[in-house]
Structure 1
Amino acid sequence: MSERVNLGKAAPELYQAVINLDKLTSQATLSAGIDDGFSHLLRLRASQLNHCAFCIRLHTRDALSSGESSDRISVLPAWRETRYFTEKERAALSLVEAVTLIADGQVPESVYEQAAATLSKEEISAIEWLSIVINAWNRIAISSRYPVEA
């Protein structure tokens, strides 16, 4: 593999702006009452969809250190088939997936209606911002080919 431009080093002011946006997003999720551990599961799910190994490893570790169970982490790719997640968590996961896969049908009305019926406006806003930010991080890490070594 050829060495890639490390976007954080090439444009530190832009990288810092994403860090600041991430901090604001974390504050918004906590303010909306979204558990810190579950917010890492949301980031992890988006990272799984984007195939971002760096962020998958990071948010798996963060989820575990925030008290999430290894069971919930391990079934995350198949969350619809489990009973590990509440109705609110299921709506949040659907919304994160829709925003992450926005090129595939935008955010479908059915997903948004489920979110609106289950989540507050504050929660929806926080989850959508979280989705936007983790997708930005995934693109930074993937395009820069951040190393993921054992």
Structure 2
Amino acid sequence: MSPERRIHLAKAARPAFDALDAFARTVGRIAAEAGVDDRLKELALVHSSQLNGCAYCARVHVERAVAAGVTVDEIGQLSTWRDSGVFDERERAALELAEAYVHIADDGISDELYDHVGGVFSEAEYVALSWLLISINAFNRLTIAGRYPVPPLPKAEV
């Protein structure tokens, strides 16, 4: 079946999509209240979307990351963050947690990772980041399954 003929899941069951969208907005408010800034949030969401292979969500969150002050250099180094010196301790912990949530079926959230991340973030921040990552993984699956189109941006926007 071609992408043009696929059922658009968000449109076909709008109440389900609206609930997921409301969930994501709630999670965003929880993150802000917990002190998770937009830069940290968007780095984790971009990385999750990249790892999941969700071009649509990667584009959305790259745009938001840039608006939050993330540089092109930093976005380019997300895939190599472990070897890069551009991310601080909090960002590195968030990226590691993002990877664990993307690959949760492999190892879950190990005690070592939980302890490490818990030593970097407050409990409220850990909870908020976890819910953000649960949310983006749900959106990634929705858009990948539906093959949401990602056309090239007009040259002026690139």
Partner in structure 2 of residue 22 of structure 1: 24
Deviation at 1:99, TM superposition (A): 1.1
Asked if 1 retains the 8 angstrom alpha-carbon contact of 2:43 and 2:91, the reply is no
Deviation at 1:120, TM superposition (A): 0.5
Q: TM-score, normalised by structure 2?
A: 0.91
Q: Which amino acid aligns with 2:91?
A: E
Give the share of equivalent positions with the same residue, in percent.
39
Ranges of 4+ aligned residues in structure 1 off by more than 4 Å = none
For the pair 1:77 / 2:72, whether they are aligned, the reply is: no
Partner in structure 1 of residue 11 of structure 2: 9
For the pair 1:42 / 2:41, whether they are aligned, the reply is: no
Query: Which whole-Å CA distance do the structure 2 matches of 1:40 and 1:86 have between them?
Result: 14
User: Residue 110 of structure 1 aligns to a residue in which SS?
Assistant: helix
Q: Which amino acid aligns with 2:144?
A: I
Deviation at 1:82, TM superposition (A): 1.1
Greater Cα offset, 80-89 or 47-56: 80-89
Output the aligned Cα RMSD.
Answer: 1.0
Query: Which whole-Å CA distance do the structure 1 matches of 2:100 and 2:42 have between them?
Result: 17
Query: Which whole-Å CA distance do the structure 1 matches of 2:90 and 2:103 have between them?
Result: 20
Asked if 1 retains the 8 angstrom alpha-carbon contact of 2:49 and 2:58, the reply is yes
Deviation at 1:38, TM superposition (A): 2.1
Aligned length: 150
Q: Which structure has the larger Rg over C-alpha atoms?
A: 2
Deviation by residue 1:83-104 (Cα, 9 ceiling, x = unmatched):
1111122111111110111011
Partner in structure 1 of residue 108 of structure 2: 106
Q: Which amino acid aligns with 1:86?
A: D
Query: Which whole-Å CA distance do the structure 1 matches of 2:34 and 2:73 have between them?
Result: 25
Unaligned residue ranges in structure 1 (runs of 5+): none
User: Residue 83 of structure 1 aligns to a residue in which SS?
Assistant: coil
Asked if 2 retains the 8 angstrom alpha-carbon contact of 1:46 and 1:131, the reply is yes
Partner in structure 1 of residue 156 of structure 2: none
Unaligned residue ranges in structure 2 (runs of 5+): 153-158
Partner in structure 2 of residue 115 of structure 1: 117
Q: TM-score, normalised by structure 1?
A: 0.96
User: Residue 104 of structure 1 aligns to a residue in which SS?
Assistant: helix
Query: Which whole-Å CA distance do the structure 2 matches of 1:95 and 1:5 have between them?
Result: 32
Once the two structures are superposed, the pairs formed by residues 127-146 of structure 1 within 5 Å of their partners are 127-146=129-148
For the pair 1:148 / 2:134, whether they are aligned, the reply is: no
